[in-house]
Amino acid sequence: MHCHRHQSVRFMGKADLHQLQNLLHHRRPDATAEKFHFRNLLLGEHDVPLTCIEQIVTVNDHKRKQKVLGPNQKLKFNPTELIIYCKDFRIVRFRFDESGPESAKKVCLAIAHYSQPTDLQLLFAFEYVGKKYHNSANKVNGVPTGGGGGAGGGGSQKTPLFETYSDWDREIKRTGAAGWRVCSINEGYMVSTCLPEYFVVPSSLADQDLKTFSHSFVGRRMPLWCWSHANGSALVRMALIKDALQQRKVDQRVCNAITKSHPQRSDVYKSDLDKTLPNIQEIQAAFVKLKQLCVNEPFEETEEKWLSSLESARWLEYVRTFLKHSAELVYTLESKRISVVLQEEEGRDLSCVVASLVQVMLDPHFRTIPGFQSLIQKEWVMAGYQFLDRCNHLKRSEKESPLFLLFLDATWQLLQQHPAAFEFSETYLAVLGDSTRISLFGTFLFNSPHQRVKQSTEFAISKNIQLGDEKGLKFPSVWDWSLQFTAKDRTLFHNPLYIGRSMPRVQNGSVKPFKRTKVKAHLVLAHTPRNISLRTQHIESEAPSADDTASAGFEDPVLSRGLDRSLLFLLGTEAREALGSVESQRITAVTWEVPFLKPIHSASCSFWNQPAQIFF
């Protein structure tokens, strides 16, 4: 179970930026023959990003001593062993049998030091992006391709980041949401530091009203529009109204405005998430239990009572609670045609999960790769989900809670239950989860968009970086998957069972709202659990290994010949290679649209065991 290597650690100096020095290398000597073709361009198979480290324990066998290394701590003994507990359930152990006692100590202290920075600006992403700016200072237009975010898994569509007015405007048009408008009162974060600069509000509320009302809300987080159903009912999220005197009045005005924005003027259904869902501490506790269960030794002991232990960890129960509650709101929006307001104290934790799940279930667009990514931008990154604290990048937060992982798990459950409804695969979800622990991308690094701007501006000033008109540094985006994977590997993000493609249709130059053809109301629900996961793994192992031309990205010899690379597994290994020279026209797949998804039974809520498959 453990990576137990009798080998000294290779640890690279902090200055060695090109080699991504924040990664810990401990390659197996025999790792030359790469069995699996699927690999991360930034990380080797056994590399651990420093932000992925959870705890560092040093051991001395002879003295029988053991010490957890916090930041800036002294080590009074010479370690014979180093154990690194990772956030992704890995446990990495090193023996220092061959290295001198002093260097062993130095390595341990260095890892402890760099993996537990005292300040946000000491995270690797800052140094990385700073260096990029310096390197490109001499070039024209040399600014790194920042936020934008490139092709999702081989697709050509850009992911809207919702940093601009126009992204929100397009989303309003895409969903056909009449009665809603983009509001700019938070430009320059003048109203709230935890809201995005642009968001969408009921058209009937004037800027001045919003400014006045905002004082009544926790964190000035006034009602934010998430999404509108084609029937006109809207999904809205907001914080609690803290001002007891104003509460009724403000509440009334807000609800009236949302009602006015509904074509049928229907009532508003308010869902108090704090009362209906587990809180973030409970979720964290469940996750800790789950982790203990998964890394526990001896294996046989946990094996015997695996299912009941899994149940008592309560993680799956919570995943199901979120799915169930979201499904109820789907019913309210879809069948009752009533607008839904998600209410939560700060409106930036449970709301993120529920708002996203409801949209994944209702809108096929969010089951595509670009759509799913835009959803995460919209409901998590821009909505001020506190990634820094919840992911605990600085390792000293008491506010750690894996809500984003919970969302990915819930999405995975939906994918298991509706294998034909998602453009992306299990591999994509797993890789996305891993990416939250790589402190190179700006996407999952901050508590709010404002924090990114503020911190990176400070950093830029201290490092003498000219920002020009830019609002803060442009960190690389997770959505630029080419930074992590070759075009060929990105084909594994695609789910071969996917039958629904309902991208926004561009007609006469304008984007039409997506079409919502219902094939039949109860058409799509199926349950073929786990089909995709293992398949992708096997495709990995079957993928031809010598084809490096594809790594260049654009020059994919197969794509250029009109064959869908993600479907090439249909042919055998050798046939796939032979296909390199097949001439043909593009295959147009038969496409269906999938109406809405419902999570089903507890019997269908299964354990996402992919991490276990990798590490056990």
Partner 1 sequence: MASAPNSKYNTRSLENESFKRASRDGVNRDLGEAVPRLPGETRITDKEVIYICPFNGPIKGRVYITNYRLYLRSLEMDSAPILDVPLGVISRIEKMGGATSRGENSYGLDITCKDMRNLRFALKQEGHSRRDMFEILTRYAFPLAHSLPIFAFLNEERFNMDGWMVYNPVEEYRRQGLPNHHWRITFINKCYELCDTYPALLVVPFRATDEDLKRVATFRSRNRIPVLSWIHPENKTVIVRCSQPLVGMSGKRNKDDEKYLDVIRETNRQISKLTIYDARPNVNAVANKATGGGYESDDAYHNTELFFLDIHNIHVMRESLKKVKDIVYPNVEESHWLSSLESTHWLEHIKLVLTGAIQVADKVSSGKSSVLVHCSDGWDRTAQLTSLAMLMLDSFYRSIEGFEILVQKEWISFGHKFASRIGHGDKNHADADRSPIFLQFIDCVWQMSKQFPTAFEFNERFLITILDHLYSCRFGTFLYNCESARERQKVTERTVSLWSLINSNKDTFRNPFYTKEINRVLYPVASMRHLELWVNYYIRWNPRIKQQPNPVEQRYMELLALRDEYIKRLEELQLTNSAKLSDSSTSPSSPSQMLPHVQTHF
Q: Which of residues 383-442 bind partner 1 (CB under 8 A)?
A: 418-421
530 belongs to the binding site for partner 1 (CB under 8 A)? yes
Q: Which stretch binds partner 1 (CB under 8 A): 45-53, 69-77, 497-505, 552-560?
A: 497-505
Q: Strand, helix or coil at 421?
A: coil
307 belongs to the binding site for partner 1 (CB under 8 A)? yes
| Residue nearer to partner 1 on the CB measure, 27 or 598 | 598
CA–CA gap between residue 404 and residue 600 (Å, rounded): 21
DSSP symbols for 541-589 = HHS-SS--GGGGSS--TTGGGT--GGGGGGS-HHHHHHGGG---PPPPP
Site for partner 1 in 333-392 (CB under 8 A): 334-335
The CB-of-573 to partner 1 minimum distance in angstroms stands at 7
* 3-state percent helix, strand, coil for the chain, nearest multiple of 5: 40, 10, 45
**Residue 353 backbone phi and psi in degrees, to 5:** -65, -50
301 belongs to the binding site for partner 1 (CB under 8 A)? no
The CB-of-566 to partner 1 minimum distance in angstroms stands at 11
Buried b (16+ CB within 10 A) or exposed e, 279-301: ebeebbbbbebbbebbbeeeeee
Site for partner 1 in 536-575 (CB under 8 A): 538-539, 542, 563, 567-575
The CB-of-565 to partner 1 minimum distance in angstroms stands at 12
Handedness of CA 184, 166, 442, 228 (dihedral sign): positive
Site for partner 1 in 509-528 (CB under 8 A): 521-528
Q: What are the start-end ranges of the E strands in 108-221? A: 180-183, 199-202
The CB-of-35 to partner 1 minimum distance in angstroms stands at 14
CA–CA gap between residue 502 and residue 523 (Å, rounded): 16
| Residue nearer to partner 1 on the CB measure, 98 or 583 | 583
Cβ pair 307, 607 in contact under 8 A: no
Would you put residue 136 in left (φ > 0), alpha (ψ -120 to 50) or beta? alpha
Residue with tokens 């709301």: 351
Q: Strand, helix or coil at 403?
A: helix
The CB-of-390 to partner 1 minimum distance in angstroms stands at 27
Q: Which stretch binds partner 1 (CB under 8 A): 232-240, 370-378, 454-462, 580-588?
A: 580-588
Which of 46, 113, 253, 324 is close enough to bind partner 1 by CB under 8 A?
Answer: 324
CA–CA gap between residue 100 and residue 106 (Å, rounded): 10
Query: Which strands, in side-by-side order, build the sheet including 65-68?
Result: 3-5, 91-95, 81-86, 53-60, 65-68
The CB-of-523 to partner 1 minimum distance in angstroms stands at 7
529 belongs to the binding site for partner 1 (CB under 8 A)? yes
Q: Which stretch binds partner 1 (CB under 8 A): 92-100, 135-143, 300-308, 394-402?
A: 300-308
| Residue nearer to partner 1 on the CB measure, 18 or 601 | 601
Which of 61, 303, 461, 512 is close enough to bind partner 1 by CB under 8 A?
Answer: 303
The CB-of-120 to partner 1 minimum distance in angstroms stands at 37
The CB-of-225 to partner 1 minimum distance in angstroms stands at 23
**Residue 337 backbone phi and psi in degrees, to 5:** 55, 45
Which of 149, 223, 442, 496 is close enough to bind partner 1 by CB under 8 A?
Answer: 496
330 belongs to the binding site for partner 1 (CB under 8 A)? yes
